[in-house]
């Protein structure tokens, strides 16, 4: 929206080389809005706009630019300027950027960065992807416990410009061991002469630097925090993770799960920025897999050709049978995947989850079976045995779909794999194979063996 409104004016400023206008553009707009307006411009033009402001403002805007465009800009600017930009970027933003860049490029760039920032960057880049250490920032406010509220406020004013957030002030000793936390609200309302040791909260909610990033998101949501401290194995404060970084992570994970559950390999870039060939590859692999499973279903169906030829009416209800099993399996898979994604404690209750789904499956199977029995007899005018075939099959495939949809994600989670890999199309395809076998086997049993 902002891009359509403001980009024509920005292009005109570039055409006229209006330095004052470019400077005001960078300062007047919120950084995220400025980044949106810059989207789609040539790298050289983007740098002309950014360089009209100081490097601190450039870093603020640069942080909101989409990752693919960031990499384009990195490739189209002199190393000296890029090193200055990286120095003033927030710790988590610059690590995100450097983590996406080519390793050789990073190594050639780091010597130009100030020593303190260089050492910090190397340390943060060493953390495994998707762990707390990889998404934290080292820009936090901390104070000793033996000072008064008056002294704390004076020191906080000095720390504030270099801190990501000052709402939480962490109480540490000389070795950075975390002892407590105080909120800015508490400091403002407390008596000036009160010591922090008497004011701080000692039972601090913290995460380990090696904890999974998704677990960090759950902890932040569970305790309704704005930020959460990150400590090492010796309980030393090494950084904090703020709510905005967790929101980005949650959105990224939700997108990834949505892609996987629809049998699409997750996209690295936005939809319209992903080349058609890349999009085809990411979708084609899954489609080929599903097609292979579909051919297995067809082969199984071929094996029961004799039964279907002797009872040609069976083909009428085959789509119903396959849809019932696939839809039920997809429902169960969605519910179970969501349960273990939102609440990790659910993974320790696999038996309870399985029994819960099994009971639900029995209820659904009973209702679907009764409905199918009545529909086959009175709507299609089939006899009792034929209605029993369809009703019995529906009951079995609904139960089977429930078990399949709940068990497979739990098994994948147990193996340390993403349960979302059990996509709805894959669950449906597997249900189709078993549905065909159950349908025709039930028909043989009731129509030919028991008659």
Q: What pLDDT is stored for residue 170 in this prediction? A: 95
How do residues 66-95 score in pLDDT, each as one tens digit?
A: 888 899 999 998 988 988 898 888 888 888
Q: What pLDDT is stored for residue 128 in this prediction? A: 83
Pairing assessment for the beta strands 207-208 and 178-183 based on DSSP bridges: unpaired
Residues 88 and 170: their CA atoms lie apart, in Å, by 23
3-state secondary structure of 413: helix
pLDDT-derived band at 421 (thresholds 50, 70, 90) equals low
Q: Which residues contact 11 (CB under 8 A, 6 or more apart)?
A: 41
Please give the residue that has the higher pLDDT: either 354 or 86.
Answer: 86
Question: Exposure pattern of 397-433 as b/e (b: 16+ CB <10 Å)?
Answer: bbbbbbbbbbbbbbebbeeeebbbbbbbbbbbbbbbb
Q: In this structure, which topology does domain 140-243 adopt according to CATH?
A: CBS-domain (3.10.580)
Does residue 451 carry a pLDDT above 70?
Answer: no
CB 401 within 8 A of CB 328: yes
Q: What pLDDT is stored for residue 98 in this prediction? A: 86
Q: What pLDDT is stored for residue 104 in this prediction? A: 83
Does residue 345 carry a pLDDT above 60?
Answer: no
Q: What pLDDT is stored for residue 263 in this prediction? A: 65
Residue 177, both tokens: 């061991």
How do residues 259-303 score in pLDDT, each as one tens digit?
A: 776 667 777 766 667 777 877 787 777 778 778 888 888 888 888
**Homologous superfamily of 1-125:** MgtE N-terminal domain-like (1.25.60.10)
Q: What pLDDT is stored for residue 180 in this prediction? A: 94
3-state secondary structure of 241: strand
Residues 100 and 250: their CA atoms lie apart, in Å, by 19
Q: What pLDDT is stored for residue 181 in this prediction? A: 95
Start-to-end C-alpha separation, the chain = 70
Please give the residue that has the higher pLDDT: either 134 or 184.
Answer: 184
Please give the residue that has the higher pLDDT: either 333 or 56.
Answer: 56
- Across residues 165-187, what is the average pLDDT? 93
Residues 426 and 408: their CA atoms lie apart, in Å, by 11
Residues 427 and 400: their CA atoms lie apart, in Å, by 11
Q: What pLDDT is stored for residue 423 in this prediction? A: 65
CB 314 within 8 A of CB 439: yes
Beta bridge partners of residue 168, listed in sequence order: 183
How do residues 203-235 score in pLDDT, each as one tens digit?
A: 999 999 989 888 888 888 888 899 999 999 899
Q: What pLDDT is stored for residue 275 in this prediction? A: 77
Q: In what order do the strands lie in the sheet with 227-231?
A: 207-208, 227-231, 237-242
Q: What pLDDT is stored for residue 207 in this prediction? A: 93
Residue identified by tokens 């449906």 is: 428
Question: Exposure pattern of 164-194 as b/e (b: 16+ CB <10 Å)?
Answer: bbbebbbbbeeeeebbbbbbbebbeebeeee
Does residue 50 carry a pLDDT above 90?
Answer: yes
Tell how far CA 288 is from the center of its chain.
Answer: 26
Q: What pLDDT is stored for residue 229 in this prediction? A: 94
Please give the residue that has the higher pLDDT: either 61 or 124.
Answer: 61
Mean pLDDT of the chain: 86
Residue 245, both tokens: 């970084």
Q: What pLDDT is stored for residue 344 in this prediction? A: 55
Q: What pLDDT is stored for residue 272 in this prediction? A: 65
Please give the full DSSP string across 140-193, using - where no structure is assigned: EEEE-TTSBHHHHHHHHHHHGGG-SEEEEEEEE-TT-BEEEEEEHHHHHHS-TT
Does residue 347 carry a pLDDT above 60?
Answer: no
Residues 76 and 432: their CA atoms lie apart, in Å, by 53
% of residues, the chain, pLDDT over 90: 35
Q: What pLDDT is stored for residue 410 in this prediction? A: 83
Does residue 371 carry a pLDDT above 70?
Answer: yes
Residues 103 and 85: their CA atoms lie apart, in Å, by 18
- Across residues 409-437, what is the average pLDDT? 80
Question: Exposure pattern of 203-238 as b/e (b: 16+ CB <10 Å)?
Answer: ebebbbbebebbebbbbbeeeebebbbbbbeeeebb
Domain 276-449 belongs to what architecture? Answer: Orthogonal Bundle (1.10)
Residues 218 and 223: their CA atoms lie apart, in Å, by 9
Residue 103: burial class (beta carbons within 10 Å; 0-12, 13-18, 19+): exposed
Q: What pLDDT is stored for residue 101 in this prediction? A: 86
Q: What pLDDT is stored for residue 342 in this prediction? A: 66
Residues 390 and 345: their CA atoms lie apart, in Å, by 39
Please give the residue that has the higher pLDDT: either 262 or 16.
Answer: 16
Residue 192, both tokens: 């000036």
Task: List the chain domain ranges.
Answer: 1-125, 140-243, 276-449
Q: What pLDDT is stored for residue 37 in this prediction? A: 93
How do residues 94-126 score in pLDDT, each as one tens digit?
A: 888 888 888 888 888 888 887 777 888 888 888
∠ Cα 294 304 288 (to 5°): 10
Question: Exposure pattern of 313-351 as b/e (b: 16+ CB <10 Å)?
Answer: ebeebbebbbebbbbbbbbbbbbbbbbbbeeeebeeebe
Does residue 17 carry a pLDDT above 80?
Answer: yes
Residues 264 and 279: their CA atoms lie apart, in Å, by 9
Does residue 250 carry a pLDDT above 80?
Answer: no
**Please, where are the H alpha helices in 39-175?**
43-50, 55-62, 67-74, 79-88, 91-100, 103-109, 115-125, 132-135, 149-159
């Amino acid at each position: 929206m902002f891009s359509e409104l403001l980009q024509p004016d920005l292009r005109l400023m570039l055409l006229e080389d209006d330095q004052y206008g470019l400077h005001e553009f960078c300062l007047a707009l919120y950084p995220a809005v400025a980044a949106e307006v810059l989207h789609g411009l040539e790298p050289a033009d983007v740098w002309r706009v950014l360089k009209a402001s100081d490097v601190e403002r450039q870093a603020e805007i640069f942080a909101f630019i989409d990752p693919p465009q960031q990499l384009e800009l990195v490739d189209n600017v002199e190393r000296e300027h890029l090193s200055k930009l990286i120095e003033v970027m927030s710790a988590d933003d610059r690590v995100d950027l450097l983590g996406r860049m080519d390793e050789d490029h990073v190594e050639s760039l780091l010597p130009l960065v100030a020593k303190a920032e260089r050492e910090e960057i190397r340390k943060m880049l060493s953390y495994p992807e998707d762990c707390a250490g990889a998404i934290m920032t080292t820009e936090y406010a901390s104070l000793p416990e033996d000072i008064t509220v008056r002294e704390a406020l004076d020191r906080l004013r000095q720390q504030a410009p270099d801190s990501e957030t000052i709402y939480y002030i962490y109480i540490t000793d000389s070795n950075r061991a975390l002892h407590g936390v105080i909120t800015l609200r508490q400091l403002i309302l407390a008596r000036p002469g009160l010591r922090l040791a008497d004011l701080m909260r000692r039972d601090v909610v913290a995460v380990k630097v090696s904890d999974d990033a998704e677990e960090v998101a759950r902890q932040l949501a569970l305790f309704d925090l704005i930020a959460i401290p990150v400590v090492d194995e010796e309980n030393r404060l090494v950084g904090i993770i703020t709510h905005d970084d967790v929101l980005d992570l949650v959105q990224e994970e939700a997108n990834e799960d949505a892609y996987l559950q629809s049998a699409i390999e997750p996209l690295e870039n936005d939809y319209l920025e992903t080349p058609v060939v890349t999009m085809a590859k990411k979708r084609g692999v899954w489609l080929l897999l599903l097609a292979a499973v579909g051919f297995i279903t067809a082969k199984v169906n071929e094996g029961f050709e004799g039964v279907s030829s002797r009872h040609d009416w069976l083909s009428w209800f085959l789509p119903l049978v396959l849809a019932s099993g696939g839809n039920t399996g997809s429902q169960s898979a969605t519910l179970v995947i969501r349960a273990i994604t939102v609440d990790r404690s659910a993974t320790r209750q696999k038996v309870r989850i399985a029994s819960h789904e099994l009971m639900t499956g029995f209820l659904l199977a009973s209702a679907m079976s009764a409905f199918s029995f009545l529909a086959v007899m009175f709507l299609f005018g089939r006899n009792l045995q034929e209605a029993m075939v369809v009703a019995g099959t529906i009951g079995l495939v609904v139960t089977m779909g429930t078990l399949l949809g709940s068990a497979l994600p739990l098994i994948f989670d147990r193996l340390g794999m993403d349960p979302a890999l059990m996509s709805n199309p894959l669950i449906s395809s597997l249900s189709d194979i078993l549905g065909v076998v159950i349908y025709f086997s039930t028909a043989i049993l009731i129509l030919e063996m028991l008659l």
